[in-house]
Amino acid sequence: MFQNLNLLVLSIALFIGSFPVKAQQPFADQVNVFLGTSGDHGQLSPGASSPFHQMDIAPQTWPHLHAGYEHDAKRIVGFTHNRFEGVGCMGSGGLLFVQPYSGDSVHIWNKAKEQAGPGFYEVSMEGNGLNARFAVHENIGIHQYTFKKGKKGIKLVLNHAFNGAFVSNQYNILHDGTLSGQIKAKTTCHVGTYTIYYAIALPKGALKQGEYFIDLTLPVDSEDVELKVAFSAVDEASALQTLRKNAAENYQSVKKRSQQNWEELLSQIVVKGDADRQKLFYSLFYRTLQSPYQISENNGAFRGTDGNVHRAKGKRYHGWAIWDNYKTQLPLLALAFPDRYQDISNSIADLYRYGKYDFAGPHEPANSVRTEHAAIVLLDAKNKGFDIDVRGITDSLVKDTTRFDFSKPDKYLEAAYDMWAMAQLVPRDKKRFLERSKTYTSIWNKEFRDLSKRDIDRMSARNMYQGTIRQYRWNVPYDLAGLTKLIGGKAALSKQLDDFFDNHYFNRANEPDIQSPTLYYASDKPWRYQSLVQELALDTVVQYYFNDNSRGIDPFIDRIYKNEPKAFVRTMDDDAGAMSGWFVMTALGLQQPLVGEPIYYLNVPLFPSITLGKGRSAFTINVINFGDKNRYIHRVRLNGKDINRLWLRHEEIAKGGQLEIEAGEEPSSYGADSMWISDLTSTSSKQGR
């Protein structure tokens, strides 16, 4: 009997084994790099890029748009080597413009077909049949062109930059034909200046030189032509060293290395669920991994914002958009890549050592946007267990506060937030900074309490930056208990939040009120937060506000997050992963209501199964009763224990474990009596309010 049973089990196993097992699709293959690349729907490009590196080889389409690339455009004029993906101010980057041509001079190509993915971009042209392929791995990039036989050439335009940002270029042709030089350009928004050092291995041909161009006429019988480019943020010698180290590399090998690198990073978060939603997730996760840029060499050398070369034990990064992404992308990086985030935090601290500017200065080591709220980011890192040398930069931190702007309503609230962070970073001045932070109540009562004034819905009223009175009035994340009291209590807070969201005063095209949904957890209907974030992530929204500082007569009505070229809200920039990061965090079921405190509010994740991290520190999240209608939390278990709360500490996630969220279709009062709410009247934020 037992023998027959064993034979039966074996037969069943063989039968099941005869069917092919569906392999896990590579994470990089799920990324759509064309998301957000059409019109003013993200300001993104499909360029060949490497995680956290500045080189980004992308096509420039014609007619010229400020972002450099338009998915629907049919014509291409050439290829540039950097762009700050997803940021505004009329384009950023666009250096080292390469124009392959057939015949006697440059011309516009008609695009026939293009494909791209993490680390590579390929395009074929109509007419004379040029095929062009590009791959980037860290600081090395490959151009591979396939021409037809006949007259042809490649022109390098050395004074090209988006939006007139070019400053200067110096170059030399070395004895072996290598082009070596440096190029300076204005940073995003034309505020500061950054430098890229480069080395280019030119193919054989007849060289014609000008002050700002290299024109290379290629042999008429040549067909496959390769151009190899290396970058450095330190000096030309380092760029040359990188170029020579990669002398044996070709398009395929660089593409393979780059995709392996992307695969390793993207696999740090594994989500399982609807296939289309997975692709959207990894396409947005990809966008959070492009900046900041590594600026240090393997020997630890890097340039500071003082223009001098320094050395560090770890890696150093630059290329900041902190005002935009400190609430979303940076917390995501801290969760997903703690080792890398230690170096990113050290790099932010270095700004205070070598020269910190709200936007940018004269010696930026990479293209950058802005650094406001860097102190909040450092406090956040410190409270999450990262090693931050606050003592070594204390004087510079304090000096930086003298530049805080309290002259405008929005700036006042933001500066008060920084003062709250400074009170914890600098204990010797804690009382002074904390008292300054508490003064937000006076400006709130004066400017933000009264919602009957005619200008409360006008963008940039009262000299505020890209937001309205309604949107900025929620920007007191460090004292949610105090703000609730100012408004009149939990019920009044709920009523005003309902008015704000139900009447579509929320602005998803920019960041000033990006965390405002979290305020529902301080109200008397916290369950609304759980449904609202899913509505914003998955459903059709009504959006009246746009980044041209207007409140439209007619609204934008569509989903925000779409896996297509016309993604996001019209005029909505991704802002260096800020907007993509919000979706990724929501998909994980985690949002940080107060950057600076290592606390995450929970919502039902967008996938039934999630694994964050690998090995012993892996943190798994499983949803019981998963379904798009089941948006409310009914129970939370951490490592098998019912925790009766709707929030987690960073350390609970970082050490690994298992989280189980039981979801339901109806609102629940679960965890409402143990909410974590920020409170300025206490040295630590309180529960149960």
Domain boundaries, the chain: 33-267, 271-664
154 token code pair: 């490649």
For residue 592, CA distances in Å to 279, 554, 588 come to: 24, 32, 12
pLDDT tens profile 206-249 = 999 999 999 999 999 999 999 999 999 999 999 999 999 999 99
Confidence class of residue 687 from pLDDT cuts 50, 70 and 90? Answer: very low
Residue tagged 């920020």 (tokens): 678
Q: How far apart are the first and last CA of the chain?
A: 66
pLDDT tens profile 96-155 = 999 999 999 999 999 999 999 999 999 999 977 799 999 999 999 999 999 999 999 999
Calculate what percentage of the chain has a pLDDT beyond 70.
96
Rounded to whole angstroms, the Cα distance separating 596 from 594 reads 6
pLDDT tens profile 142-175 = 999 999 999 999 999 999 999 999 999 999 999 9
Whether the CB-CB separation of 286 and 337 falls below 8 Å is answered with no
Rounded to whole angstroms, the Cα distance separating 226 from 177 reads 14
Q: How many CA atoms lie within 13 A of 580 on its CB side?
A: 32
Identity (one letter) of the amino acid at 244? R
Whether the CB-CB separation of 598 and 651 falls below 8 Å is answered with yes
pLDDT at residue number 684: 47
In sequence order, what DSSP letters do the residues of 121-143 get, joined into one string?
EEEEESSS--EEEEEEETTEEEE
pLDDT tens profile 448-467 = 999 999 999 999 999 999 89
pLDDT at residue number 14: 40
In sequence order, what DSSP letters do the residues of 41-77 get, joined into one string?
SS-----EE-TT-S-EEEEEEES--TTS--TT--EEE
Identity (one letter) of the amino acid at 294? Q
Span 187-203, mean pLDDT? 96
Q: Which residues contact 566 (CB under 8 A, 6 or more apart)?
A: 38, 39, 41
pLDDT at residue number 317: 98
Q: Please state the pTM of the whole predicted model.
A: 0.95
Span 609-623, mean pLDDT? 96
Q: Given a cut of 50, is residue 11 above it in pLDDT?
A: no
Whether the CB-CB separation of 507 and 471 falls below 8 Å is answered with yes
Confidence class of residue 7 from pLDDT cuts 50, 70 and 90? Answer: very low
pLDDT at residue number 22: 55
Rounded to whole angstroms, the Cα distance separating 29 from 284 reads 13
Average pLDDT of the chain? 94
pLDDT at residue number 23: 65
Radius of gyration over alpha carbons of the chain, in Å? Answer: 26
- Considering the segment(s) 271-664 as one domain, its CATH architecture is 2-Layer Sandwich (3.30)
Q: Given a cut of 50, is residue 369 above it in pLDDT?
A: yes
> Taking the CB of residue 453, how many other CB atoms lie within 10 A of it?
12
Confidence class of residue 19 from pLDDT cuts 50, 70 and 90? Answer: very low
Rounded to whole angstroms, the Cα distance separating 526 from 517 reads 10
Q: Given a cut of 90, is residue 524 above it in pLDDT?
A: yes
Span 267-284, mean pLDDT? 98
Q: Given a cut of 80, is residue 251 above it in pLDDT?
A: yes
For residue 597, CA distances in Å to 226, 382, 600, 650, 683 come to: 51, 10, 9, 9, 12
> Taking the CB of residue 168, how many other CB atoms lie within 10 A of it?
13
- Considering the segment(s) 33-267 as one domain, its CATH architecture is Distorted Sandwich (2.70)
pLDDT at residue number 414: 97
Give backbone dihedrals phi and psi of 105, rounded to 5 degrees, phi first: -155, 170
Minimal CA–CA distance to 319: which of 258, 233, 234? 233
pLDDT tens profile 336-358 = 999 999 999 999 999 999 999 99
Calculate what percentage of the chain has a pLDDT beyond 90.
91
Give backbone dihedrals phi and psi of 356, rounded to 5 degrees, phi first: -110, 135
pLDDT at residue number 15: 43
Give backbone dihedrals phi and psi of 458, rounded to 5 degrees, phi first: -90, 130
